Amino acid sequence: MDTSPTTRSSSTRLDPYVDRYAARTAGMTQSEIRALFAVASRPEVVSLAGGMPNISGLPLDVVSGAIDGVVRDHGTVAMQYGSGQGMLELREQITEVMRLEDIDAHPDDVVVTVGSQQAVDLVTRIFCDPGDVIICEAPSYVGALGVFRSYQCDVVHAEMDADGLIPDALRAAIAGTRAAGKKIKFLYTIPNFHNPAGVTMSLERRHEIVQICEEEGVLILEDNPYGLLGFDADPMPALRSISSENIIYLGSFSKTFAPGFRVGWALAPHTVREKLVLAQESATLCPPQFSQMAIGAYLAQHDWQGQIKQFREMYRERRDAMISALNDMMPAGCHWNVPAGGFYVWMTLPQGINAKAMLPRAVTARVAYVPGTAFFADGFGSSAMRLSFCYPTPERIREGVRRLAGVIEEEMELRATFGATERLDTLPMGNETPSTDTQ
């Protein structure tokens, strides 16, 4: 035992339990996003790092009225234990929400979860043994990669382009994995306004991806927190609208209403749904009844679709502010996409600049982002970063981009002076004709 705690910091002191943890616990490490939160949340830092929705536009009087009705009229139900599957009334409302993406579903096949993060966890729990493979887009959602790692799964990335996951890349990933004698448990995909890549899968691709997975017997885990947050057009049909078998669809109220209730859901084929309910009962007994009734009352009493429209307009304004600022200020050699919805822009840096290594200098310059490596299971992405436009005001976004452009320019000058010292990763996306201009 360490008897001199004052001589060691908490992060370096010995862990007396180090030999007792499960093998999976070695894969549980702080994500690069989480580690950033402490600094990025200081008020002087413009955070382009977090994915927090901006909920300042929510009508608190409406929410207050809805929730007060829940407490006064149904308090002893709302504060009681509930079903592991979630409340039927809310599951019926969820099927209405999904209808906006052409999904025809029965409430019996919906399982309410503690945010859609928990849905990713429960799906992985019921399907994946250590060493099983999950195919993910390159890049992919950091929180899902963390779940997959915690279940000791192997992630195989398949590349995307401006139309989303590339069918040939998926075919190659499936074939390569099977040739290596490994089991593929599912494809994890975010078809709409991808986190972090910002791209959306085209309609044609959707059909092709669904068909490939049916032919190959690969289950699809369709994660769709942002689908209703398109700026320019109606929602795209979900993959789940193309086929009701072989696809588990995940939805969330975190971005269309508010994340603090932690209510998401999984829509799954009947037999899978039964397993998910058992897993939910084991994990939490039941999702929070109070949260479910609060959301149910909000949906019933408020023009929630009108609220989503307001959110879309607010986020579009911020997307426009970011793209305009990037156009105006980023040095040559930086590349980014223009997302048609959601929260994120994916930017690749001039050759030889490492986004992770640069981060401390950016934070010193009072701007934060998430380095691209957070979104890969395999160390790629060091020349890229995710820029979030969801939370700061347009003015702050512009200021943040200004600061970031300055940091990148300094970095380029340093490199021009001293030359490249770091190995370059192959950029998995967005590196069309990498610029050789390091000035």
Of 169-198, which residues contact a copy of itself (CB under 8 A)?
185
144 versus 239: smaller Cβ distance to a copy of itself: 144
At its nearest, how many Å lie between a copy of itself and the CB of residue 320?
23
* Residue partners of 390: CB distance under 8 A and separation at least 6: 50, 51, 52, 53, 54, 315, 318, 343, 344
186 versus 380: smaller Cβ distance to a copy of itself: 186
At its nearest, how many Å lie between a copy of itself and the CB of residue 376?
17
Single out the segment in contact with a copy of itself by CB under 8 A; choices: 67-75, 197-205, 397-405, 420-428: 67-75
**CB neighbours (10 Å) of residue 170?**
23
164 versus 288: smaller Cβ distance to a copy of itself: 288
261 sits near a copy of itself (criterion: CB under 8 A): yes
Beta bridge partners of 266: 111, 250
Residues 201-220 that bind a copy of itself (CB under 8 A): 219
80 versus 439: smaller Cβ distance to a copy of itself: 80
At its nearest, how many Å lie between a copy of itself and the CB of residue 202?
29
Residues 5-44 that bind a copy of itself (CB under 8 A): 10, 13, 15-18, 20-25, 28-31, 34
Residues 129, 309 contacting (CB under 8 angstroms): no
Residue 266 C-alpha from the chain's centroid: 15
Site string for a copy of itself, 120-159 (x = CB under 8 A): -x---xxxxx--x----------x--xx--x---------
Task: For Cα atoms 193, 401, 309, give the angle at the middle one, nearest 5 degrees.
Answer: 40
60 sits near a copy of itself (criterion: CB under 8 A): yes
Question: Residue 57 corresponds to which amino acid?
Answer: G
DSSP state, 217?
Answer: T
109 versus 411: smaller Cβ distance to a copy of itself: 109
- Distance from C-alpha of 293 to C-alpha of 22, rounded to nearest angstrom: 37
Residues 218, 183 contacting (CB under 8 angstroms): no
Among 115, 191, 227, 230, interactor with a copy of itself by CB under 8 A: 115
78 sits near a copy of itself (criterion: CB under 8 A): yes
Among 291, 337, 382, 388, interactor with a copy of itself by CB under 8 A: 291
Residues 309-348 that bind a copy of itself (CB under 8 A): none
Q: Which burial class, exposed, middle or buried, applies to 4 when counting CB atoms under 10 A from its CB (0-12, 13-18, 19+)?
A: exposed
DSSP state, 423?
Answer: P
Q: Which residue has the tokens 């957070």?
A: 374
Residues 265-284 that bind a copy of itself (CB under 8 A): 269-272, 275, 278-279, 281-284
Q: Which burial class, exposed, middle or buried, applies to 152 when counting CB atoms under 10 A from its CB (0-12, 13-18, 19+)?
A: middle
**Token pair recorded at residue 157:** 């990335």
